[in-house]
Structure 1
Amino acid sequence: MATTGDLIAALKQEVYTELLGKIEGEVERLYKKRIECATLSSTEAASYLGVCKEFLYTMVREEQIKAIRMSSSKAKRPNYRFRLSTLDKWMEEQEGRYEKGESA
Protein backbone atom coordinates (compact mmCIF):
# COMPACT_ATOMS: atom_id res chain seq x y z
CA MET A 1 0.00 0.00 0.00
CA ALA A 2 1.33 3.42 -1.00
CA THR A 3 2.02 5.92 1.72
CA THR A 4 1.22 9.61 1.56
CA GLY A 5 4.92 10.28 1.00
CA ASP A 6 4.96 7.88 -1.96
CA LEU A 7 1.94 9.60 -3.50
CA ILE A 8 3.50 13.04 -3.02
CA ALA A 9 6.77 11.85 -4.56
CA ALA A 10 4.92 10.37 -7.56
CA LEU A 11 2.91 13.57 -7.99
CA LYS A 12 6.08 15.69 -7.81
CA GLN A 13 7.71 13.53 -10.47
CA GLU A 14 4.66 13.79 -12.73
CA VAL A 15 4.50 17.59 -12.37
CA TYR A 16 8.27 17.86 -12.90
CA THR A 17 8.15 15.76 -16.07
CA GLU A 18 5.23 17.74 -17.49
CA LEU A 19 6.79 21.12 -16.70
CA LEU A 20 10.19 20.08 -18.01
CA GLY A 21 8.66 19.08 -21.35
CA LYS A 22 6.84 22.41 -21.65
CA ILE A 23 9.92 24.42 -20.66
CA GLU A 24 12.17 22.55 -23.09
CA GLY A 25 9.67 23.13 -25.90
CA GLU A 26 9.44 26.85 -25.16
CA VAL A 27 13.23 27.23 -24.90
CA GLU A 28 13.67 25.47 -28.25
CA ARG A 29 11.03 27.70 -29.89
CA LEU A 30 12.69 30.86 -28.54
CA TYR A 31 16.14 29.64 -29.58
CA LYS A 32 15.00 28.92 -33.14
CA LYS A 33 13.36 32.34 -33.35
CA ARG A 34 16.55 34.01 -32.09
CA ILE A 35 18.72 32.13 -34.59
CA GLU A 36 16.39 33.12 -37.44
CA CYS A 37 16.85 36.78 -36.49
CA ALA A 38 20.57 36.65 -35.61
CA THR A 39 22.78 38.72 -37.90
CA LEU A 40 26.50 38.73 -38.65
CA SER A 41 28.78 41.48 -39.91
CA SER A 42 30.43 41.10 -43.31
CA THR A 43 33.64 39.91 -41.66
CA GLU A 44 31.78 37.39 -39.50
CA ALA A 45 29.66 36.18 -42.43
CA ALA A 46 32.69 35.71 -44.67
CA SER A 47 34.43 33.74 -41.93
CA TYR A 48 31.29 31.67 -41.31
CA LEU A 49 31.07 30.78 -45.01
CA GLY A 50 34.83 30.28 -45.35
CA VAL A 51 35.23 32.94 -48.07
CA CYS A 52 36.92 36.33 -48.26
CA LYS A 53 34.89 39.53 -47.84
CA GLU A 54 35.47 40.52 -51.47
CA PHE A 55 33.86 37.29 -52.64
CA LEU A 56 30.98 37.83 -50.23
CA TYR A 57 30.43 41.34 -51.64
CA THR A 58 30.52 39.91 -55.17
CA MET A 59 27.80 37.43 -54.24
CA VAL A 60 25.69 40.29 -52.84
CA ARG A 61 26.18 42.39 -56.00
CA GLU A 62 25.26 39.42 -58.20
CA GLU A 63 22.22 38.76 -55.96
CA GLN A 64 23.41 35.25 -55.13
CA ILE A 65 22.99 35.93 -51.43
CA LYS A 66 20.74 38.36 -49.57
CA ALA A 67 22.10 41.03 -47.25
CA ILE A 68 20.75 43.85 -45.14
CA ARG A 69 22.35 47.14 -46.13
CA MET A 70 23.17 49.21 -43.05
CA SER A 71 24.71 52.21 -44.83
CA SER A 72 23.34 54.72 -47.30
CA SER A 73 23.27 53.78 -50.97
CA LYS A 74 25.72 56.65 -51.60
CA ALA A 75 28.36 55.30 -49.22
CA LYS A 76 31.62 54.33 -50.91
CA ARG A 77 32.00 51.27 -48.76
CA PRO A 78 28.73 49.45 -48.06
CA ASN A 79 28.04 48.08 -44.61
CA TYR A 80 26.03 44.86 -44.68
CA ARG A 81 24.55 42.53 -42.11
CA PHE A 82 23.71 38.93 -42.94
CA ARG A 83 21.05 36.78 -41.30
CA LEU A 84 22.51 33.53 -40.02
CA SER A 85 19.46 31.69 -41.37
CA THR A 86 20.10 33.17 -44.85
CA LEU A 87 23.72 32.01 -44.80
CA ASP A 88 22.67 28.52 -43.70
CA LYS A 89 20.07 28.39 -46.47
CA TRP A 90 22.67 29.47 -49.05
CA MET A 91 25.08 26.75 -47.88
CA GLU A 92 22.32 24.13 -48.13
CA GLU A 93 21.59 25.30 -51.69
CA GLN A 94 25.29 24.99 -52.56
CA GLU A 95 25.37 21.47 -51.13
CA GLY A 96 22.36 20.57 -53.26
CA ARG A 97 23.98 22.00 -56.39
CA TYR A 98 27.20 20.12 -55.65
CA GLU A 99 25.31 16.85 -55.18
CA LYS A 100 23.62 17.40 -58.56
CA GLY A 101 27.01 18.00 -60.19
CA GLU A 102 26.44 21.71 -60.82
CA SER A 103 29.19 24.27 -60.31
CA ALA A 104 28.82 26.86 -57.56
Structure 2
Amino acid sequence: MIGDKAATEFLEAIVDRVAEKLLPTIIEQLKTESIGKPDITMEVHEAAPYIGISPEMLYKLCANKRIPHIPLSSTGRGRPKLLFSSASIDTWKKEQEKMHYKKEDQNE
Protein backbone atom coordinates (compact mmCIF):
# COMPACT_ATOMS: atom_id res chain seq x y z
CA MET A 1 0.00 0.00 0.00
CA ILE A 2 3.01 2.26 -0.27
CA GLY A 3 1.89 3.13 -3.81
CA ASP A 4 -1.51 4.27 -2.53
CA LYS A 5 0.14 6.45 0.09
CA ALA A 6 2.45 8.04 -2.47
CA ALA A 7 -0.44 8.70 -4.84
CA THR A 8 -2.48 10.28 -2.05
CA GLU A 9 0.44 12.49 -0.99
CA PHE A 10 1.00 13.50 -4.61
CA LEU A 11 -2.67 14.47 -5.08
CA GLU A 12 -2.68 16.38 -1.79
CA ALA A 13 0.40 18.30 -2.91
CA ILE A 14 -1.34 19.23 -6.18
CA VAL A 15 -4.46 20.36 -4.31
CA ASP A 16 -2.35 22.48 -1.96
CA ARG A 17 -0.53 24.18 -4.84
CA VAL A 18 -3.76 24.89 -6.74
CA ALA A 19 -5.40 26.27 -3.59
CA GLU A 20 -2.34 28.41 -2.92
CA LYS A 21 -2.59 29.94 -6.40
CA LEU A 22 -6.38 30.42 -6.48
CA LEU A 23 -7.19 31.37 -2.91
CA PRO A 24 -6.08 35.04 -3.13
CA THR A 25 -8.13 35.52 -6.31
CA ILE A 26 -11.21 33.90 -4.78
CA ILE A 27 -10.94 35.97 -1.60
CA GLU A 28 -10.55 39.20 -3.57
CA GLN A 29 -13.55 38.38 -5.74
CA LEU A 30 -15.71 37.60 -2.71
CA LYS A 31 -14.68 40.87 -1.08
CA THR A 32 -15.59 42.98 -4.10
CA GLU A 33 -18.89 41.19 -4.70
CA SER A 34 -20.28 41.07 -1.17
CA ILE A 35 -18.51 43.70 0.89
CA GLY A 36 -17.62 46.22 -1.80
CA LYS A 37 -21.20 46.86 -2.91
CA PRO A 38 -23.79 47.82 -0.34
CA ASP A 39 -27.36 46.72 -1.00
CA ILE A 40 -29.23 49.77 -2.24
CA THR A 41 -33.00 50.09 -2.49
CA MET A 42 -34.04 51.72 -5.77
CA GLU A 43 -37.21 52.95 -7.40
CA VAL A 44 -38.10 52.36 -11.06
CA HIS A 45 -36.37 55.52 -12.31
CA GLU A 46 -33.14 54.32 -10.63
CA ALA A 47 -33.41 50.59 -11.28
CA ALA A 48 -34.16 50.83 -15.01
CA PRO A 49 -30.83 52.52 -15.93
CA TYR A 50 -29.05 50.25 -13.42
CA ILE A 51 -30.30 47.26 -15.41
CA GLY A 52 -30.01 49.00 -18.78
CA ILE A 53 -33.66 48.99 -19.83
CA SER A 54 -36.48 51.52 -20.07
CA PRO A 55 -38.83 52.13 -17.14
CA GLU A 56 -41.69 50.83 -19.31
CA MET A 57 -39.88 47.52 -19.87
CA LEU A 58 -39.17 47.29 -16.14
CA TYR A 59 -42.88 47.76 -15.37
CA LYS A 60 -43.68 44.95 -17.85
CA LEU A 61 -41.14 42.61 -16.25
CA CYS A 62 -42.67 43.34 -12.84
CA ALA A 63 -46.23 42.83 -14.10
CA ASN A 64 -45.21 39.42 -15.44
CA LYS A 65 -43.29 38.60 -12.22
CA ARG A 66 -40.07 38.13 -14.18
CA ILE A 67 -37.83 40.29 -11.98
CA PRO A 68 -37.51 40.56 -8.19
CA HIS A 69 -39.26 43.61 -6.78
CA ILE A 70 -41.36 44.85 -3.88
CA PRO A 71 -44.70 46.39 -4.83
CA LEU A 72 -46.09 49.03 -2.49
CA SER A 73 -49.79 49.82 -2.56
CA SER A 74 -50.69 52.78 -4.67
CA THR A 75 -53.05 55.49 -3.64
CA GLY A 76 -55.44 56.45 -6.37
CA ARG A 77 -55.36 55.14 -9.91
CA GLY A 78 -51.64 55.25 -10.62
CA ARG A 79 -49.20 52.41 -10.78
CA PRO A 80 -48.03 50.98 -7.47
CA LYS A 81 -44.67 52.16 -6.26
CA LEU A 82 -42.05 49.50 -6.93
CA LEU A 83 -38.83 49.01 -5.01
CA PHE A 84 -35.79 47.02 -6.10
CA SER A 85 -32.82 45.68 -4.17
CA SER A 86 -29.50 46.14 -5.98
CA ALA A 87 -28.31 42.80 -4.55
CA SER A 88 -31.41 41.02 -5.89
CA ILE A 89 -31.04 42.71 -9.28
CA ASP A 90 -27.37 41.68 -9.47
CA THR A 91 -28.29 38.08 -8.67
CA TRP A 92 -31.14 38.18 -11.20
CA LYS A 93 -28.78 39.50 -13.91
CA LYS A 94 -26.32 36.68 -13.25
CA GLU A 95 -29.14 34.12 -13.46
CA GLN A 96 -30.34 35.64 -16.73
CA GLU A 97 -26.84 35.47 -18.14
CA LYS A 98 -26.54 31.79 -17.21
CA MET A 99 -29.93 30.99 -18.73
CA HIS A 100 -29.06 32.68 -22.02
CA TYR A 101 -25.50 31.53 -22.45
CA LYS A 102 -24.50 28.19 -23.87
CA LYS A 103 -20.89 27.11 -23.63
CA GLU A 104 -19.29 25.78 -26.79
CA ASP A 105 -18.86 22.27 -25.37
CA GLN A 106 -22.48 21.87 -24.22
CA ASN A 107 -24.74 19.63 -26.27
CA GLU A 108 -28.10 20.89 -27.45
Task: Answer whether TM exceeds 0.5 for this pair.
Answer: yes
The alignment covers a number of residue pairs equal to 71
The yes-or-no answer on 1:83 pairing with 2:94 is: no
| Corresponding position of 1:35 | 38
Letter in 2 for 1:45: A
| Corresponding position of 1:71 | 73
Letter in 2 for 1:51: I
| Corresponding position of 2:19 | none
Letter in 2 for 1:66: P
d(CA) in 2 for partners of 1:94, 1:73: 33
Q: Deviations over 1:28-84 (max 9, x none)?
A: 7xx74x824x21110110000000011001111111112112333764222111000
- What TM-score does the superposition give when structure 1 sets the normalisation length? 0.57
Structure 1: gaps of 5 or more residues = 1-27
CA contact (8 A) 2:68 2:92 kept: no
Structure 2: gaps of 5 or more residues = 1-30, 104-108
Instruction: Indicate the percent of aligned positions where both proteins have the same amino acid.
Output: 31
**How big is the alpha-carbon RMSD for the aligned residues of Structure 1 and Structure 2?**
2.7
